[in-house]
Amino acid sequence: MFKAKYYYDSKTLSYRKIKVSKGVHFRNIMAFITASAFFGVITLFFLLQSPVLNTPTELSQAREISNYKFQLELMNKKLDQLNIVLEEIEQRDNNIYRVLFETNPIPSEVRKAGFGGVNRYKNLEGYDNSKLITETTKKIEILTKQIVIQSKSLDEIERLAIEKEKLLAAIPSIQPIKRGDLTRMASGYGYRTDPFNKTRKMHYGMDFTAPRNTPVYAASDGKIVRADSRSTGYGKHIRIDHGFGYMTLYAHLNKYNVVRGQKVKKGDIIGFVGNTGRSQAPHLHYEVWKDKKRVNPINYYLGNLSPEEFDDLLKLANQENQSLD
């Protein structure tokens, strides 16, 4: 029930009851209902946006999403750090390892090449954190490819290192007669006087004088390909194939300590000094071959001579005198 309202009538000097029409009364009621509904909707909207009304499941999911975002951001930082480390390895690979083993560096555009395909990451679009997820995925894929390339590169470096080790073992590097056993270095590589006809001709090896049966040593690792006296002038001689185009020859031996096909190591005793073949006195005639051409043996004695001893040997080798064969 609504309370009756009155007003004071100054003409009749009395109070009169205010009469409200049904139409006005209805409009007032509708205005109240409309205002109430409007404020109710506004209040409900703000409540729905507030976490106050979220269910425990929704709150848990929101926390998980926030945690995932944090983990992705942390992963991105770690990927950046890994990329820095990988770049340092790549720099050492190109500028040290590949230079050392005389092979071409891997271009940066090959190491950092992206992936083909139109909109490769389309399935990652449409989410609140799509940009973060896409960038992280890109970094992981590119980093994975770089690691694969670097791994293959290191495999190649390992193979080259093994080959380099074999090459170093194959290069003749020691004097075939120990310095203490030598009488003297009689003649070097170059034009010398022939001891038999006294003409000037090319001498393709080095002559080391030493007592008969002085041990002769293999200049490096290799395989005996000849141990016979069937070559004119050399008498009993040995030839060792060291691989990589290197071969050494030891001539005028008195006897052998190896047989054809036998594998030897640097420093093994392969024979003994003699005076067989075209020779004027007991000595060892020593030759070094590279790619089927005879080269100066003086360049292959650094393994067992001091710098001073090498200088002395070099001076003697350069003297143009008479050879012994």
Residues serving a catalytic function are 283
Supply 156's token pair.
């190649």
Burial of 115 (0-12, 13-18, 19+ CB in 10 A): exposed
The enclosing H or E element of 234 equals: none
Rounded to whole angstroms, how far apart are CA atoms 323 and 186?
7
Burial of 315 (0-12, 13-18, 19+ CB in 10 A): exposed
Name which of 256, 245, 242, 243 is nearest 294 in CA terms: 245
The enclosing H or E element of 309 equals: helix 307-317
Burial of 5 (0-12, 13-18, 19+ CB in 10 A): exposed
What b/e readout covers 204-220, taking b as 16+ CB neighbours within 10 angstroms? bbbbbbbeeebbbbbbb
Q: What number of other Cβ atoms are within 10 A of residue 184's Cβ?
A: 11
Instruction: Note whether 206 and 176 are within 8 A (CB).
Output: no
Supply 141's token pair.
């894929």
Name which of 185, 299, 293, 214 is nearest 249 in CA terms: 293
Instruction: Note whether 265 and 303 are within 8 A (CB).
Output: no
The number of C-alpha atoms within 13 Å of 35 and in the hemisphere containing its C-beta is 6
Tokens 């200088």 belong to 311
